Amino acid sequence: MLAFRDVATAAYCPRKLYYRRQQPADAHETPPEVSRRRAVAFRYPDLLADDAALREAPVDVTPTQFRSRLGSAKARLDAWAALADPEGRDVLLSGKDCRGIAHKRFEGPEGPSLSLVFTGDPPETGVWHPQSVHLVAAAKALSWEQETPVERVYAEYPAHGVVRAVDVGPRRSAEYREAVQAARRVDGPPPRVDNDAKCKPCEFREECGVRTRSLRSLLGG
């Protein structure tokens, strides 16, 4: 069975998934800084009420921005109360194709739902493509377990005070199925994606041997 993260990585670049699979298991342990940033998503009420705690929290925006963004999420999202105090935390879900962890699991206004907490920067709107695939993988697994459709899930970027609803829908489901197929096909190194935006931040850039645009222009190629 595939891990949610495998499918999300295949959506980013199948070759990256190939390299991840070559790594020892301890390379996939969660770094302490990621845990600290993720923990912010479980402390919203405290942080909103405690200036000193908010100033010390690993948050990338000002306290005013953090409060204002969470205030807008609270006003906008019917699931806010459940997100702020979820029934399940770090819950293992097993679906038909994939298994992995949902950081929050709760009964939302639309039925069973979940949230994944991302510690990087959010896009201007929506969620990044691999994160969309990751969310759908988790939604499908929850749906499989509960034997009921899961149509809306949530993405949190706590270091930015951003919480977004994500509707699963046909387009995201198709992208998810495509990523599952891509992950299943990986048995040797797939072709490079040749995409500077993806390759520049990729941790496997050196062993992959890609030349990003700046290097190509230096080399005149």
Q: Which of residues 18-57 bind ligand SF4 (CB under 6 A)?
A: 19
Closest to ligand SF4 by CB, 110 vs 178, is 178
Distance CA 140, CA 60 (A): 32
* CA 210 from centre of chain: 25
Residue 15 makes contact with ligand SF4 by CB under 6 A = yes
Q: Which of residues 56-115 bind ligand SF4 (CB under 6 A)?
A: none
Secondary structure (3-state) at 202: coil
Closest to ligand SF4 by CB, 16 vs 104, is 16
Secondary structure (3-state) at 150: coil
Largest Cα separation within the chain, whole Å, is: 57
Q: Which of residues 199-218 bind ligand SF4 (CB under 6 A)?
A: 199, 202, 204-205, 208, 210
CB of 46 to ligand SF4, least distance (A): 38
Closest to ligand SF4 by CB, 43 vs 192, is 192
Task: List CB contacts of 123: < 8 A, sequence separation 6 or more.
Answer: none
DSSP annotation of 177: H
Q: Which of residues 160-199 bind ligand SF4 (CB under 6 A)?
A: 192-193, 198-199
First vs last Cα of the chain: how many Å apart?
Answer: 41
Closest to ligand SF4 by CB, 47 vs 199, is 199
Closest to ligand SF4 by CB, 13 vs 116, is 13
Residue among 103, 125, 129, 105 at smallest CA distance from 116: 103
Closest to ligand SF4 by CB, 97 vs 196, is 196
Region of 8-16, 70-78, 116-124, 174-182 interacting with ligand SF4 (CB under 6 A): 8-16
Distance CA 141, CA 92 (A): 10
Task: List CB contacts of 102: < 8 A, sequence separation 6 or more.
Answer: 88, 90, 91, 93, 114, 115, 116, 138, 142
CB of 182 to ligand SF4, least distance (A): 12
CB of 183 to ligand SF4, least distance (A): 14
Sites of contact with ligand SF4 (CB under 6 A): 13, 15-16, 19, 192-193, 198-199, 202, 204-205, 208, 210
